[in-house]
Amino acid sequence: MKVETMSDCCATGAKNGNDRYDLVVVGAGSAGFSAAITAAEQGAQVALVGHGTIGGSCVNVGCVPSKALIRATEAVHHANAASRFAGIDGNARVADWQALVAQKDDLVASLRQAKYVDLLPAYNNVAYHEGQARLVDGGVQAGGKRLVSDRIIIATGTRPALPAIPGIADVSPLDSTTALALTELPRSMIVVGGGYIGAELAQTFARAGVDVTLVFRSRLLPEAEPEIGAALAGYLTDEGITVIGDLTYDSVRRTEDGIALTVIRDGHPQTIGAERILVATGRAPNTESLGLAETGIAQTPMGAILVDDRMRTTRAGVYAAGDVTGKDQFVYMAAYGAKLAARNALNGDSLRYDNSAMPAVVFTDPQVGSVGLTEAQARAAGHDVRTSVLTLDNVPRALAARDTRGLIKLVADRGTRKLLGAHILAPEGADSIQTAAMAIRGGLTIDALAETIFPYLTTVEGLKLAAQTFDRDVKMLSCCAG
């Protein structure tokens, strides 16, 4: 399938008749488009600079393709688990992985066209330029043109990073991009990395029929509540995934059958073999060609562009947004930060970035939804903390579905009883966490949450039950009581 770029289809010249703009946006992904559209709607003349496939990571190689395959293999799993209901016998398997990948590619292409390529003609004051960008005095150099502006937003995103494991570069490792493009499934796979990408992809390929070993240095989902990571590790093990944590990586080498990864656990070496290895240990910012050092733009130790709470870099007039900043690497936060950066660049830096009620989701099964502070973060912030933990066997929805995998953990301040954080591990956790986000954004107490009316036989009702658990035993309540 040919990957269409803007230079193939509808690249535009400067629509204001010259190469001077009110704003230059570097990067044509979700953050770049958000910044450009926000500025254009305020009447600004905008140059949007893209390099390569338009649309960025999410639609092309991240959110969209991964969630499409996650849903597909989830259907396989649930068909095979149908016998949990009396009188039902079901089974499924991936019969044609190549067809599934082609369907995923069609979805990606259609969304890229509808949400990126087709949008630009509607904004007459946005000029698209194709080319690798570099910051220069007075603006940006890209595609042989100098785009002049006093205000610039950098939104160049990230790419998969290769960890410093001896031998890893010599074994043709997969990453999150190339793994999603596989047209043939390997017999076995080692997934390196216990973050959300590693967890999601390990489960997806295992459900597709691959023998998967998931390895990581500390614990699964290290940024999540420990109870959630431990429970999810158990569920992955139940599905046949070999889960190995608390290790260090020693080396990787080729073998006759594929690759061998040697790790150190409890001071002893252990070698794990598989046909392929997939690396999901982090992402690196796309900054090398921008000339940041020459223009005085500071970077974090990991190479991300350093920004303040107004999205300003250390160079006046230059802002950055999205994954390239290393902050909150979710597509909706990239769009939010870019919109804020555009408004600040044009209107005087009055808006502050606020992620205090940012929901985050891991699309494993059960799903992980979280918002606000973890227990450890709340204690570090000086709160006198109370927590409640409710397992899903106390939630009527889970009992009716005969799937009680999961738990809900709430974090509150003991004195004010204000809800500080909510963390859900549940088959429908992704669609339940937004209620907790609204509660935290509105400053609700656990009492207000416990007294709110929730629909019966829903997963989100578990938030009410978890709030009640702070002060009473919900096992002693009748249905919908309290």
Instruction: Report, in this order, helix, strand and coil percent for the chain, each rounded to 5.
Output: 35, 25, 40
Asked if residue 149 and residue 10 are part of one domain, the reply reads yes
Same domain? 342 vs 408: no
pLDDT given at position 14: 44
d(CA 325, CA 337): 10
Per-residue pLDDT of the chain (482 residues; tens, 9 = 90+): 333 444 444 444 444 445 899 999 999 999 999 999 999 999 999 999 999 899 999 999 999 999 999 999 999 999 999 999 999 999 999 999 999 999 999 999 999 999 999 999 999 999 999 999 999 999 999 999 999 999 999 999 999 999 999 999 999 999 999 999 999 999 999 999 999 999 999 999 999 999 999 999 999 999 999 999 999 999 999 999 999 999 999 999 999 999 999 999 999 999 999 999 999 999 999 999 999 999 999 999 999 999 999 999 999 999 999 999 999 999 999 999 999 999 999 999 999 999 999 999 999 999 999 999 999 999 999 999 999 999 999 999 999 999 999 999 999 999 999 999 999 999 999 999 999 999 999 999 999 999 999 999 999 999 999 999 999 888 877 776 55
Q: Tell me if 209 is assigned to some domain.
A: yes
Query: How far, in Å, CA of 255 to CA of 435, rounded?
Result: 50
**Does residue 303 share a domain with residue 189?**
no
Which residue in 314, 307, 347, 350 sits closest to 328, CA to CA?
307
The verdict on residue 20 lying in a domain is yes
Q: Are 216 and 198 in contact (CB under 8 A)?
A: yes
- Are 222 and 310 part of one and the same domain? no
Q: What's the whole-model pTM score? A: 0.93
CATH, residue 150: 3.50.50.60
**Among 231, 256, 281, which residue terminates a domain?**
281
Radius of gyration of the chain (CA): 24
In the numeric block, which tokens belong to residue 194? 């216990």
User: Do 173 and 261 fall into the same domain?
Assistant: yes
Decide if 426 contacts 367 (C-beta within 8 A).
Answer: yes
Q: Could you say which of 226, 257, 281 is where a domain stops?
A: 281
Do 220 and 188 share a structural domain?
Answer: yes
219 and 314 both lie in a single domain = no
Nearest Cα residue to 129 out of 5, 38, 39 = 5
201 Cβ contact list (under 8 Å, min separation 6): 66, 176, 179, 191, 278, 280
Q: What's the pLDDT score for residue 18? A: 56
**Do 391 and 467 lie in a common domain?**
yes
Residue 75 forms part of a structural domain? no
- Residue span of the structural domain in which 454 resides: 360-474
- CA–CA distance, 47 with 14 (Å, rounded to integer): 8
Same domain, 154 and 197: no
Number of domains within the chain? 3
Residue 104 lies in a domain: no
Cis bond leading into 222, ω under 30°? no
- Is residue 80 one of the residues assigned to a domain? no
Q: Cα–Cα distance between 93 and 77 in angstroms, integer? A: 8
Please tell me whether residues 230 and 136 are part of one structural domain.
Answer: no
Asked if residue 73 is part of any domain, the answer here is: no
Q: Decide which of 266, 281, 296 is a domain's last residue.
A: 281
Q: Which two tokens stand for residue 402?
A: 């005969």
433 and 371 in contact (C-beta within 8 Å)? Answer: yes
Asked if residue 11 and residue 149 are part of one domain, the reply reads yes
The enclosing domain of 428 has a CATH number of: 3.30.390.30
pLDDT of residue 177: 97
Assess if residue 274 is contained within a domain: yes
Q: Residue 196: inside a domain, yes or no?
A: yes
Which pair of tokens denotes residue 334?
A: 């990239």
Does 202 share its domain with 336?
no
